[in-house]
């Protein structure tokens, strides 16, 4: 019976998984060494997967490393958890 209940219970998305794929606004240019982005209304430290993403640009969250958003281009897809 427990298995049947679990089968019908929707999966909860973890906080990290919910952030993957989110589009962010670059607040301070993001490089491989760091920068700042606005993610769901909050300012996050960030690192870029490739090159520099200028302030005012858009990026996509591809990974979360602790309290740092790893961002790539809008076309880049997130790593699966």
Lookup: tokens for 26: 């670059």
Instruction: Please tell me the CATH superfamily of domain 21-73, with its number.
Output: Nucleic acid-binding proteins (2.40.50.140)
Domain extent listing, the chain = 21-73
> What's the pLDDT at 39?
96
Please report the pLDDT score of residue 36 as a whole number: 99
Give yes or no for a contact between 34 and 52, defined as CB atoms under 8 angstroms apart. Answer: no
pLDDT of residue 12: 54
**Model confidence over 2-40: pLDDT tens digits?**
555 555 555 555 688 899 999 999 999 999 999 999 999
Select the more confidently predicted residue: 15 or 71. 71
pTM score over 0.85: no
Task: Give 50's pLDDT tier (boundaries 50, 70, 90).
Answer: confident
* Rounded Cα gap, residues 51 and 6, in angstroms: 44
């Amino acid at each position: 019976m427990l298995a049947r209940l679990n089968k019908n219970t929707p999966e909860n998305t973890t906080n990290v998984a919910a952030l993957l794929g989110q589009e962010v606004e670059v607040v301070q240019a993001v490089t491989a060494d760091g920068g700042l982005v606005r993610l769901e209304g909050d300012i996050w430290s960030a690192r870029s997967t490739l090159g520099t993403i200028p302030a005012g640009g858009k990026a996509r969250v591809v990974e979360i490393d602790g309290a740092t958003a790893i961002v790539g281009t809008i076309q880049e897809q997130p790593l699966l958890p």
